[in-house]
Amino acid sequence: MASGGSPVWALVALLSLLPLVARGERAVGALEEVPVSNPGVQEAARFALEAYNRASNSMFCYKPVRVLEAETQVVSGMQYYLTVEIVNTRCEKKVGCGLKNVGSENCAVPSEAEQQICEFVVWSRPWMQDTRLSSISCTPSSS
């Protein structure tokens, strides 16, 4: 009788572990989807766009339309993988491209505005007051 009950107890023991696995615990260093409204995501997107504006050869500033997707990864800090839709404006770079400027009413988006989908990778180490844009890849939007 003891040998007949063993498989049942083994199954019960195995099934009792299922909630631990189903909880979605992630491994350190694994990518995790996060809401685009997450404050860290919003800050990383702001940083990425300001860096993009500094690096681009456009005379005009780009501003965000929306963050489409966001993932994070713990890597000696936090790495943000962002997909952001951006659009060019009529605000000249000499005025400054900070979100305070490009978000204002004075920073119009022309009707023929160029929209792009950008993949940004931002690495943040807040305890060192260090944030870096590791990667930029933009393609024209089809919308």
- 15, part of any domain: no
- 54, part of any domain: yes
pLDDT > 70 fraction of the chain, expressed in percent and rounded: 73
User: What single string gives the DSSP state of each residue in 45-56?
Assistant: HHHHHHHHHHH-
- Summarised one tens digit per residue, pLDDT across range 38-62 is 999 999 999 999 999 999 998 989 9
For residue 136, list its beta bridge partners.
120
Total domain count for the chain? 1
Q: What angle do CA 12, 13, 16 make, to 5 degrees?
A: 85
Lookup: tokens for 134: 């590791």
Q: CATH no. for residue 78?
A: 3.10.450.10
Domain residues for the domain of 41 are 27-140
- 86, part of any domain: yes
Please, which pLDDT band fits residue 1 given cuts at 50, 70 and 90?
A: very low
- 14, part of any domain: no
